[in-house]
Amino acid sequence: MTGRLNDALRRVPVWPLYIAGAVPPLWWLWLGLTGGLGVEPIEALEHRLGELALQVLIAGLCVTPLRRHLGVNLIRFRRALGILAFSYVLLHLLVWLALDVQIPAQIWADIAKRPYITVGMAGFVLLLPLVATSNDRAVRWLGPRWRRLHRLTYLAVLLGAIHYVMLAKGFQIEPLLYLGGIVVLLALRLPVRRRLLPA
């Protein structure tokens, strides 16, 4: 059963994922321009992009546990998921910079004084070397170091979830569910050590 599914997945091209991934931001931009995002369109757009980025990062984290525990191999789609997630994070940041704050001095003040922005910015900075080395040439050049470098993904996703929890006003269960899900997925990636029982 799993073998048939993996054979079918190998025949699925990656490029439609990029096209599908471009639809939500364009649709939300259209809604924002036409009044479909409510009375606070900038805040709504910012929130939706950030949440989508976190969802796609979580989808990327699911790839290894799915292969390890269920035998489903989605590894060929992981790079596309990473690039799309970074694109959403970048758009989330640009909406905040260009449409929300707009004042350079205020931007630096917010990063320094507001912990949830500091945490979110730290997560974004961690993603920069990952997206810069998400090509075959970088994989060949870095060799074994590439895998160690890309473990920064785990910390970046965790910081993104913490950013979401800190951003939420009052007690909200949804950000906590994201954080809990990420912790579980990270735990599933830990190597399993079997104890040798005495005969």
- The better pLDDT of the pair 122, 113 is held by 122
Indicate the domain borders of the chain: 2-188
The per-residue pLDDT for range 142-196, each reduced to its tens digit, is 898 998 999 999 999 999 999 999 998 777 899 999 999 999 999 988 765 544 4
CB atoms within 10 A of CB 85: 27
Structure tokens at 52: 């989508």
Q: Give residue 124's identity as a one-letter amino acid code.
A: F
The per-residue pLDDT for range 10-57, each reduced to its tens digit, is 889 999 999 999 999 999 999 999 999 988 999 999 999 999 999 999
The per-residue pLDDT for range 44-72, each reduced to its tens digit, is 999 999 999 999 999 999 999 898 888 89
Give the CA distances from residue 94 to residues 35, 72, 90, 131, 190, in Å, rounded to whole numbers and listed in that order: 20, 36, 6, 17, 35
Tally of CA atoms within 13 A in the half-sphere of 126 that contains its CB: 19
Burial of 48 (0-12, 13-18, 19+ CB in 10 A): buried
Task: Put residue 71 in one of left, alpha, beta given phi > 0 → left and psi -120 to 50 → alpha.
Answer: left
Model confidence at 197: pLDDT above 90: no
